[in-house]
Structure 1
Amino acid sequence: MNKKLISKDNTIKILSVMLALLLWFYVITEQNPEITKDVTVPIRLVNTVFFERNNMVIVNETDSFSLTLRIKGKKDVLDKLNSSTVDAFADLAGHNQKGENFVKINIGGIPEDVSIITKSMDSLKIILEPKINIQKSVRLNIMGNPTHGMAAMTPSLTPSDVVITGAESKINMIQDVRVDVDIASADAGIKKVLPVRVLDKSGKDIKDIIVEPGNVEASIPIENTKRVSLSMDISGQPAEGYVISGISVEPEEVLITGKQQILEDINNIKTERVDITGEKSNITKEVRLMIPNGIEVVDADENVSVSVNIEKIATSEITVKDLEYINLPENLELVSIQGDIKVTLRGAESWIADAPRTVKYYVDLKNAIPGSNVRDVLWEAPQGMEIVEISPKQTDVVLINKDEQ
């Protein structure tokens, strides 16, 4: 009887233990199962001093260096693993050569009971290039226009040069180093501290470089304007038998800017002197404008084009049949005039050919009286045209009172 009870009691105990084991296994497998998890961690770079001593820099975007791990383990353990607790680093000791360097990725912070199933890569590609320092002048890019009647004079930058440091490929991309300033509607001088931009050939800012200093001071004077004419300064004489038949300056006028008190005293700007001594043909050349101190040209270069036309001197005799009579008293009228006038002209060949149209011959009848009036034959000719001889030099004009008709 006792044996049966003991046997039955043992059976119950065994069943209880087995049930407890089953419950424990259930809790373990259902409440804390074994799972997989993906963890992305940044890759630290250590011992960078090795390539830095060799004056090399990393070209890759280091911010993008990351590693993705697929790990397996108990849920309660994996829940504690993340990018802060898992460590990934690349040891750059011994890597200092230009070009591609493949560096093993080391992983830390993984418990022993957690296994790594896969990882996105085993090694990190590091691209090294020589670090270059270069000095560049800064260009001031002025945008917009000042208020009407004003203009920007020559600006200044302080400092005017900067030192740019970066990878060789980055330095080779440099197309423009500038600061931008907008002067639209400005009516006074501008002084600003501006950031220096380093641009490639597409006009995009180049990243991952160091510019020292990163900012410069731009000073832009804004002054009043005035439009003035240009004149040519000529010295010497053409060869014997030749004459200047025309001069021109292109442009004929320019817009200048400067302090108002200086502008008030300037109405004309001369070119540098042009020597025509002994010349026999036309001259066209680029010459500088003689700009007064404190004045700048706004809408043209300081070099302008000048032309001097030089022609042979010709002599011609013409007959003038129609004289012009001016200042005829209102109470008098012409009765008779003397015959034709012979005129000998001398000047440039083209002038002589055009003389009948360009030379004016006339008689001034101011204070004339009824009867005979002997008056000089007068003329007006273009500058450079010479009246060598006129015959007769005087003409007899007979006048009568209008009421005598």
Structure 2
Amino acid sequence: MAETWKDNLIYKLIAILLAVLLWLYVTADQNPPLEKTLNLSVNYENLLDNLTLTSKTNVVNIKIRGEQKIINGLGLKDFEARVDLAQVKLGQQALPVIIGNPLGIEITDVFPKEVSVNVDMIAERQVPVTAALLGETAHGYSSFKATVKPSQVVIRGPANILDNLEEARVDVNLNSAQSNLVLNLPIKVQDKLGNWFGADTLNIIPNTVEVFIPVVQDTPSKTVPVKPVIDGKPAPGYQIARIMVEPETVKILGQFNKLDTIDLIQTLPVNLTDVKENVIREVDLSIPSGVTVLYGTKVKVIVQIELSPVQKNFDIPIKVYNSKSSQKVLVTTEAVKVNVEGKKDIMDNITFQDIIAFVDVAGLDFGTHELEVQIDAPGDVQLKNIEPQRVKVEIKALEEKPVTTTTTTTTTTG
């Protein structure tokens, strides 16, 4: 009985083993191991805000191994290739690629295992924008200087690129234009080596600008100055120091006989009544009939206002310069009346001691002479008037004083 039970147990174990082997065979036959190659985009992480990558590897290849049914159910989204930039330094360097993969999948190879990156500081520059005109207008039409708004853009990017920037530019194709062009165009940037960069490499703020190009039918033109017209006067105690206009000239179009009669273009009046500070106004031009002004009909008028100068009167005694020791010089007028002018804060501190009136008798012989009175005053004070301007000077020989001789008598008592 015991032997029969043992024989049955052996048969049962053999049957179980055969079943397991059969299951493994069937499983391996229906779901064999599979290898596959994938191309993964590399994600760069943890880069400091003031740094940027100027060169990097975008794709790595990986080989994976696993059961066929698992691998067939996976896609690129189930894998990750990343590079940690938390500890990078400036310049070129190699960093390891970190692969993230699902459970049950073996990564058998990564190529490359390290990627080369170049790290640079982020810099910022403000750059003027120019417009390059390409092509030609229609026959019988002409284009004029382009106006770009805004005229400057801010560019942020790698310092080594910004250090070598040559220009920021937009290209305008005239395309046989017969009328004014108003276009919104993307900006491109060129370095000193002729390399071009766009918004994909640099952060250009804004990355587009509005370009206005006057296109007119060919007609006679003339460039004339702009004359600001001023109305009213500043407040008492103030005066106009300087008047400027931007632009200083404009180009006008018209028939020859009309252009010949125009030497300047005036602005509409700028009112300065009782003003006490600088005035900046955008005003229209007063355009004569029969002519057209290019680039707009408004100009900027800038008027600088300052305190009116203060005048003072002094009686200044006349000094004599360069007389000889053998001469006696007599000036018929002892003092002159001097009128000087300057800024109030300076004139408040000026006294008669700061001003010198003198005549120069160098090289003059004995006799009577009429000489100009000269004034020496501080450099920031202006001489307005002197009265009299000339005085009579008499030069005499200096009288010698008689020499007194004292005789001393000595008496000797014997």
TM-score, length of structure 2 as denominator length: 0.49
TM-score, length of structure 1 as denominator length: 0.50
